[in-house]
Structure 1
Amino acid sequence: MTRAKFFLIILICSFVWYLVPGYLFTTLTSISWICWIFSKSVTAQQIGSGLRGLGLGAFTLDWSAVASFLFSPLISPFFAIANVFVGYVLIIYIAIPVAYWGLDLYNASRFPIFSSHLFTAHGQNYNITAIVNDKFEIDLAKYEEQGRINLSMFFALTYGFGFATIASTMTHVALFYGREIYDRYRASHTGKEDIHTRLMRKYKDIPSWWFYALLAATFVVSLVLCIFLNDQVQMPWWGLLFAGAMAFIFTLPISIITATTNQTPGLNIITEYVMGLIYPGRPIANVCFKTYGYMSMAQAVSFLNDFKLGHYMKIPPRSMFLVQFIGTILAGTINIAVAWWLLNSIENICQDDLLPADSPWTCPGDRVFFDASVIWGLVGPKRIFGSLGNYPAMNWFFLGGALGPVIVWLLHKTFPKQSWIPLINLPVLLGATGMMPPATPLNYNAWILVGTIFNYFVFRYRKKWWQRYNYILSAALDAGVAFMAILLYFSVGMENRSVTWWGTEGEHCELATCPTAKGIMVDGCPVK
């Protein structure tokens, strides 16, 4: 069978099938059978819920749930999947249960086990609006009145492991790739060109001034925003310079991790942390700093990834640059227009407590972004992870993350014949749950399972099939889901037409978000 025919068949199958979990039987997105068996048990539903619990035994028949947050598992090497699996099990099935049920750290049982929301000390949702003044800055009097912000055990540990991830990235790259970086830098000036570079010489290279001009233009526009619209963006001009410097420093090490594992550690936590320490109480400034620091790095890595692909496919560099430039302008304009339209046309969008169970408009990623702006920008890390907060011990994860790769490197030097030791990639292992939230255990369960099947078993025992069809399969599944999702939105979503029955009422784990501490009263939850 030709690849084109295979692609077309899988695309059609994916397109048709997504009608079922995407509209007719949405419960198939998260089959949390433990919740169905123990419908009255809070603990059982906390363990079994794929979307709001630990996801033990939960699985999905929806490709969008497999690939939505972690991208397609078919394109990640198995050693990276194995590292993610180890880190995922360590955090979700060892650290969180011990901290929540065993030690009740930070009064964890007063809150849901898996949530990105913010809570009061009594287990109620924190009233963010009450502590924001008319300048979008913190009202300290109102904050003191309502009390400290509390996080779920999952959310707190996720930040801790996020600290460890960014620290381990620097030491891992320095120890395992430092010499190679230096040698390749020297070779770029004196070494021989490889075959791909020689073939690309027939095309005109991109003039350096294109990059410099684009950088200068965007920098000037950003500087104008920071100076003349400071009341709106809150960020001072020096914040722009600092964010750019952070993006520049971290682009190389994170690009190396991405190139070797297909997993990209994020700068979101460290940029938020730094700006929150320097300039607390201003959430918009924190968001802007995060955007210029983290997203600049992420876009740079994506840009390099596309150029690498174009280099191997022998696409003219100038054409790639222009396509990237035009695509960025179009995408940015269209995205903001669509987002604005959705915000004004869909009732209760992003308010998960006011939406039906099967609503696709809960905006999990945006919810996390909002909560992060409160934690790091409005309240500030000093009142969360510092001396004035509940979680200062989480800062020790920075030290642990920095020292971890040193131990792995020493083991590799001590036992050089053990080829599996250098495959221990702590930035990937510690950052395994970096996409959680908004990703859930269900997404990870499915991603790891599918990735293991295709990139270990199929790769090992049906390698010719894998070489011929694996990536085609991934692309076809993605395309089929995307086309059907668009069709569903414009045909039934805009008219708010839905099918109502047991199979479209969510995963049926309503008690998974309940606390387990005695005396804590939450709507819809039993009181112990």
Structure 2
Amino acid sequence: MWWPSNLVQVSLFRALHEKEKRSEWGVTRNQFFVITLITSFSYYLLPGYLFTLLTTVSWLCWISPKSILVNQLGSGSAGLGIGSFGLDWSTIASYLGSPLASPFFATANIAVGYFILMYVITPLCYYLDFFNAKTFPIYSGKLFVANGQEYNVRSIINDDFRLDHKAYAETGPVHMSTFFAVTYGLGFATLTASVVHVFLFYGKDLWNQTKGALRKDKKMDIHTKIMKRNYKEVPLWWFLSIFAVNIAVIVFICVYYEKQIQLPWWGAFLACLIAIFFTPLVGVIMATTNQAPGLNIITEYIIGYAYPERPVANICFKTYGYISMSQSLTFLADLKLGSYMKIPPRTMFMAQ
């Protein structure tokens, strides 16, 4: 488990702190970093302020700007983005991170999946009019009523922030764009496939690591031995204490602010159990591919089924489940970075 994103940070830290001799016709890594920093800062004035069109260049829409079909196919912001490209690096790396930090097999996998989603499944579902798909935009993250108008979510929520059954019956059920609906469906498939993949390809390693962690004579690689020989480890009770304090605070908030939070105490425990179960599994994916499937969809679904009609409870449950796992993965990545850079574990713990 090498955590690809950490390798980029290791290279940066080495460039900033290691001394190098400049060759006659070359530059040092530190000089190259400064040149890149100044260049990228200067260039960002164009897509970020002066010429925002560079964020997504949808040249296909220039041919026939009033054509709905052309905009559905060629728009990079409201369509399938066929032929569209971006010249703004912050936009390119905003959602899945920098493609330069991911292994080629992971980037290729994402590219193939994106092609199937955007150029096969979504167009087929839309243009074959599955579930009246043509009534709604082909690409949108908004919610709609049956006639295609934007859904007024506030109108179906009462003053207590709970579902108003009468208003909901008058407004009708929620409808999504084709892309949004397919994305939700694939979100379930992605998480399930990730769990199955980890058990099939890394199940034996996980089992051996779990057994090894419970033994006193743990097998360690050379880097871990060096760290253990020179630095004190972080005691287990430090982690358990922070975990216990946070659980106590969450339960207190759920009980004391029950009307505002809407989430019962058992919901907080359930969210934590979900995060605990998925963290090592998603962590394996993150540590090898630099991509982490989210728990946002599955947490919304579970609490929506178990404790319906309470939107605030749904958001809180998703926060405790999804964000807890996300923060845990960030914490693990930092620990791995500390191992790479030979930072004392207790110092890293305090910094985190």
Common fold: TM-score over 0.5: yes
Distance in 1, Cα, partners of 2:267 & 2:154: 26
Measured after TM superposition, the shift of residue 209 of structure 1 is 1.7
1:59 equivalenced with 2:88 (yes/no): no
1:469 counterpart residue number: none
1:327 counterpart residue number: none
Letter in 2 for 1:79: F
1:235 counterpart residue number: 263
Measured after TM superposition, the shift of residue 213 of structure 1 is 1.4
Distance in 2, Cα, partners of 1:50 & 1:124: 22
2:20 counterpart residue number: none
Distance in 1, Cα, partners of 2:279 & 2:258: 28
Distance in 2, Cα, partners of 1:261 & 1:230: 40
What secondary structure is seen at the aligned counterpart in 2 of 1:86? helix
Distance in 1, Cα, partners of 2:286 & 2:195: 13
2:324 counterpart residue number: 296
Residue deviations 1:382-428, cap 9 Å, x none? xxxxxxxxxxxxxxxxxxxxxxxxxxxxxxxxxxxxxxxxxxxxxxx
2:221 counterpart residue number: 194
Letter in 2 for 1:122: N
Q: With structure 2 as the length reference, what TM-score do the two structures score?
A: 0.90
Distance in 1, Cα, partners of 2:197 & 2:87: 37
- The 5-angstrom pairing of residues 332-343 of structure 1 reads none
1:110 equivalenced with 2:138 (yes/no): no
Q: 2:288 aligns with which of 243, 246, 260?
A: 260
Residue deviations 1:11-56, cap 9 Å, x none? 0000001011111111111110111111110010111111111011
2:179 counterpart residue number: 154
What secondary structure is seen at the aligned counterpart in 2 of 1:50? coil
1:424 counterpart residue number: none
Runs ≥4 residues deviating over 6 A: none
Distance in 2, Cα, partners of 1:240 & 1:154: 32
Measured after TM superposition, the shift of residue 146 of structure 1 is 0.9
1:124 counterpart residue number: 149
Letter in 1 for 2:30: A
Distance in 2, Cα, partners of 1:30 & 1:108: 26
- Backbone CA RMSD of aligned residues: 1.0
2:109 counterpart residue number: 83
Report percent identity of matched pairs. Answer: 53
Measured after TM superposition, the shift of residue 71 of structure 1 is 1.1
Distance in 2, Cα, partners of 1:194 & 1:304: 17
What secondary structure is seen at the aligned counterpart in 1 of 2:232? coil
Distance in 2, Cα, partners of 1:167 & 1:207: 34
1:45 equivalenced with 2:45 (yes/no): no
Letter in 2 for 1:249: F
2:165 counterpart residue number: 140
Q: How many residues align?
A: 323
What secondary structure is seen at the aligned counterpart in 2 of 1:18? helix
Residue deviations 1:48-89, cap 9 Å, x none? 111111011111111111111111111000100110011111
Distance in 2, Cα, partners of 1:39 & 1:266: 36
Distance in 1, Cα, partners of 2:318 & 2:105: 31
2:24 counterpart residue number: none
Unaligned residue ranges in structure 2 (runs of 5+): 1-26
- The 5-angstrom pairing of residues 170-249 of structure 1 reads 170-188=195-213, 189=215, 190-201=217-228, 202-249=230-277
1:250 counterpart residue number: 278
1:431 counterpart residue number: none
1:164 counterpart residue number: 189
Unaligned residue ranges in structure 1 (runs of 5+): 325-528
Distance in 2, Cα, partners of 1:106 & 1:217: 48
What secondary structure is seen at the aligned counterpart in 2 of 1:304? helix
What secondary structure is seen at the aligned counterpart in 2 of 1:157? helix
Q: Which structure ranks higher in relative contact order (CA pairs < 8 Å, sequence separation ≥ 6)?
A: 1
Measured after TM superposition, the shift of residue 186 of structure 1 is 3.4
